[in-house]
Amino acid sequence: MPGLIHDLRFALRILIRSPWFAALAVLILALGIGANAALFSLVDAVLLRGLPFKDSDRLVEIWGRDLQRSGMRVPGPFLEALRERARTIESIGLHAPVAGVLQTREGVLEVRGERVGANFTEVFGVPPMIGRGFLPDEDKTGAPAVMLVSYSFWQRHMGADSAAIGQTLYLGSVAHTVVGVMPPEFRTEFGRVALVDYWTPYVSDQVRAFELENGYELIGRLASGATIDEARREVASITAGIEFKGFTDRGRTLGMVPLKEEVIRDSANPLKLLLVAVAVVLAIACANLAQLLLARSDRRVREFATRKAIGATASQVFRLALIESLLLSLAGGMAGVALAYLLLPAMITLAPTEIPRIADAAIDLRVLSVAVGLTFLTGCAFGLAPALRLSRLSVSEALVHASGRFSPAGGRFQSILVVVQVAASVALFALAGLIGQSFLKLLPTNSGFEPESRSSFFLFLSPRTYPDISERRRILDEIMSRVRAIGGVDGASAASEIPFTDDYRESPVVDLNNPRPDGTPNATADPRAISPNLFHVMGIPLIRGRDFNSSDGAQSPAVAIVNEKLARALAPDSEVLGRVVRIGRPGASVSPLPSYQIVGVVGNTRSTGTTTDILNEIYVPYSQSNDTFVFLIVQSQLGTGELTRALRAEIRRAAPDQPVRDTQTATPMTETVRQSQAVPRFSATLISAFSAIALLLAAIGVFGLVAYSVSQRRNELAIRAALGARPRDLALIAVRSAVVLTAVGILGGLAAALYLSRFVESYLYGIPRLDLPTFAGAAALMIVVACLAALIPARRAMRASLRESM
């Protein structure tokens, strides 16, 4: 122990005497360890951490499936058979999303809940924080309506009062008794924000009849010791003899998947890609430091050989050298953790909202444990080769080094490290170029509308609240009139869909003036119901024809406006104005299908953030539509908070019975566009950042190699200068090996990128995975960076050699 403490003190003094080297090593490690720790916290929250339920690995989702799709509801006879006969499934619960309207003193609020079975808390294994769970008969017909509320709901609407148990809340016209409050960490929605406010086993007779006819959404808990494969085989055996019209006669069966897998699905694929990228960065950092330490060890061979000459053993020399590496790694690890604390909030902000539980990421004990492990492993990884080299030196070998004759083995190893760094950097940068170019192609440089100073506010005019279509239309007109009168509002309109929400409904469009002989539609398009003035508010140009106006009412001839792409599809060689089209499929809920005369053509707009394709769009007046979904589009310079308060107030004045969710705000259209591209932006930004770090580390590696080579050949260069060598020739001699190694590394990196590009093909939009300009650009960038990195030590060598030759 005294010897170890002595070595620690000595190693610390040595590092203090080399502050620039120590600072560079700590910076390199901080970048590698910090990026890994921050990204691991995201991976841990999304992929590794269990769901917030008891024995969450035993929870499974059960659904119907066929060859085309899965996720279908499970018929009642199957549920009954499984509950009676299954031994591998301990309990099976029901769940389905529902929306409610909560009566409050301020008016009505939209709240979101889930219809569940009476065994809800038993299936999830989480008891209420306050109160009780559901009783066995509380999901039966005629049972009183009861509910469990979420912790956030309890805080927002019930004052976080324990006396809330037993209170009555009216969801619509049905009185529900609050019987319990779930814990803060409990959630059954795993997006960025917990959306579920309440859970209830109560259903109306209408919903119960729907479930009996269409089936249930099921969650099961596996019995202790049972595997999911055993459960799948048992479920298949139990349900094999059950016949159910419309299900088994279509070849449908039951499927089962772990609940965690169902929650995650493929939304975390970007994290897996980025985790590989950041691991490559850390490997480059280790290779970089190993190279620097090997070069530094050449200047210390006499010191360590002297130690061995006065009695130090090889193990003692090895320990001292490795302790220096571990001290550097410890300092780099501490700096890396500090960097991770700074990086994590930025990563969470940048991350797509679709990735479940990503907002729960934190630098906790698990992440810190990984950071400690990485610190130790990296210290050993980059310190092992120099420590072994120094511990194996004999006194005679030290004299050889001191006389200027060096073994080529150390130089070969350093050369290999440089080649690996360059190859990994080029491969990473080429892949980042592919993903980055793909993202740039998706940027809405010409979205077809003006998102600036425009905001949207979503409403659902429920047929339950307003069963009469004319009443819904009147309320929307009243709301629009009030919104336009708000101070600071420059314009307002409404639409059933807005661009960049990725909500595309494909419907057939038949040109009644020129129908196809085989009866197939002339085109397909996304039908959108809008209010007059929408195109003006959103800055969408009217190409020809007219806009909708107040005369286009429910009793007026039905009219439509198409975008340019659909106009060309319907009438490539003639005028589309005046043509009559039918929208929809025969046999749809609206019968007979309405016909619309095309009265205008507007410019194309981008509909989604994950493709640059322009889609066919057809617009109809709200006054001639049955749509219940409404986006208010408001052009205003008001701030989001001020606009939200004004919109809520005017909606409540115009429609006191219209529910508005208390967490809902006006959303700037610029934010809608940004969020629609969150997945490609997240991947492109982070992998580009990691690639830039890798490129910087590779440049440091080339710089170190040239500096090391020059230091070993100083006498040779001075002699050449004395014999008349020109400065340019000296510089070429100094950088020749670096140029060759960089070229080898570039070739290896391009080959690796060509192979790895197949794994990122799903992240590419509108760009081939073998895009030659991208690969050529990565190689050219590496050449430029390597030349710049080699130039500084080469110029120093040239000047020093000229001075020594004089």
627-646 pLDDT per residue, tens: 888 899 999 989 988 999 99
Whether the per-residue pLDDT at 241 is higher than 60: the answer is yes
Judge whether 581 lies within some domain.
Answer: yes
Q: How many structural domains does the chain have?
A: 4
> Would you place residue 560 in the very low, low, confident or very high pLDDT band (cuts 50, 70, 90)?
very high
- Give me the chain's average pLDDT, please: 81
| Domain shared by 723 and 656, yes or no | no
Of 41-55, 408-422, 441-455, 580-594, highest mean pLDDT: 41-55
In 10 A of CB 555, how many CB atoms?
Answer: 6
Judge whether 743 lies within some domain.
Answer: yes
Of the residues 176, 195, 218, which one is the last residue of a structural domain? 218
Q: Where are the alpha helices (DSSP H) in 636-768?
A: 640-654, 669-676, 678-712, 714-722, 727-756
CA-nearest of 267, 270, 283 to 35 is 283
| Domain shared by 373 and 513, yes or no | no
| Domain shared by 14 and 153, yes or no | no
> Would you place residue 425 in the very low, low, confident or very high pLDDT band (cuts 50, 70, 90)?
confident
Q: Which two tokens stand for residue 383?
A: 């310190």
Low-confidence winner among 628-637, 723-732, 755-764 (lowest mean pLDDT)? 723-732
Of the residues 644, 661, 676, which one is the last residue of a structural domain? 676
Of the residues 650, 676, 702, which one is the last residue of a structural domain? 676
Judge whether 59 lies within some domain.
Answer: no
Low-confidence winner among 66-75, 95-104, 221-230, 745-754 (lowest mean pLDDT)? 66-75
Residues 6+ apart with CB under 8 A from 696: none
State the pLDDT at residue 711: 60
State the pLDDT at residue 673: 84
Structural domain boundaries, residue 199: 94-218
**Mean pLDDT value of segment 589-606:** 80
State the pLDDT at residue 612: 67
Contact 141, 208 (CB under 8 A): yes
Whether the per-residue pLDDT at 10 is higher than 80: the answer is no
Judge whether 72 lies within some domain.
Answer: no
Q: What is the pLDDT of residues 347-398, one digit of tens each?
A: 888 888 778 888 888 998 889 998 898 888 888 877 776 777 666 666 555 5
| Domain shared by 138 and 202, yes or no | yes
> Would you place residue 70 in the very low, low, confident or very high pLDDT band (cuts 50, 70, 90)?
low
State the pLDDT at residue 512: 86
Query: CA dist 338 to 44, 274, 349, 363, 557, Å?
Result: 18, 20, 18, 10, 67
Q: Which residues pair with residue 600 across a beta bridge?
A: 545, 561
Judge whether 237 lies within some domain.
Answer: no
**Mean pLDDT value of segment 750-758:** 87
Contact 217, 78 (CB under 8 A): no
Long-range contacts of 722-726 (CB under 8 A, 24+ apart): 722/805
State the pLDDT at residue 502: 67
Q: Which two tokens stand for residue 729?
A: 């020739």
d(CA 390, CA 294): 9
| Domain shared by 623 and 719, yes or no | no
State the pLDDT at residue 402: 46
| Domain shared by 651 and 738, yes or no | no
| Domain shared by 481 and 545, yes or no | yes
Contact 318, 392 (CB under 8 A): no
In 10 A of CB 499, how many CB atoms?
Answer: 25
Of 435-449, 586-600, 741-755, highest mean pLDDT: 741-755
**Mean pLDDT value of segment 482-487:** 91
State the pLDDT at residue 404: 43
Judge whether 600 lies within some domain.
Answer: yes
| Domain shared by 654 and 695, yes or no | no
Judge whether 256 lies within some domain.
Answer: no
| Domain shared by 671 and 690, yes or no | no
Whether the per-residue pLDDT at 688 is higher than 60: the answer is yes
Judge whether 228 lies within some domain.
Answer: no
Q: Which two tokens stand for residue 365?
A: 């004990």
d(CA 549, CA 534): 11
| Domain shared by 356 and 487, yes or no | no
Low-confidence winner among 687-696, 714-723, 773-782 (lowest mean pLDDT)? 714-723
Contact 107, 652 (CB under 8 A): yes
d(CA 787, CA 165): 72
| Amino acid, res. 24 | L
Q: What is the pLDDT of residues 269-328, one digit of tens each?
A: 788 888 888 888 888 888 888 777 776 766 666 666 666 666 667 677 677 777 878 888
| Domain shared by 211 and 285, yes or no | no
Q: Which residues pair with residue 667 across a beta bridge?
A: 456
d(CA 158, CA 31): 47
| Domain shared by 340 and 468, yes or no | no
**Mean pLDDT value of segment 124-141:** 92
State the pLDDT at residue 406: 45
Tell me how far the alpha carbon of residue 39 is from its chain's centroid: 12
State the pLDDT at residue 337: 92
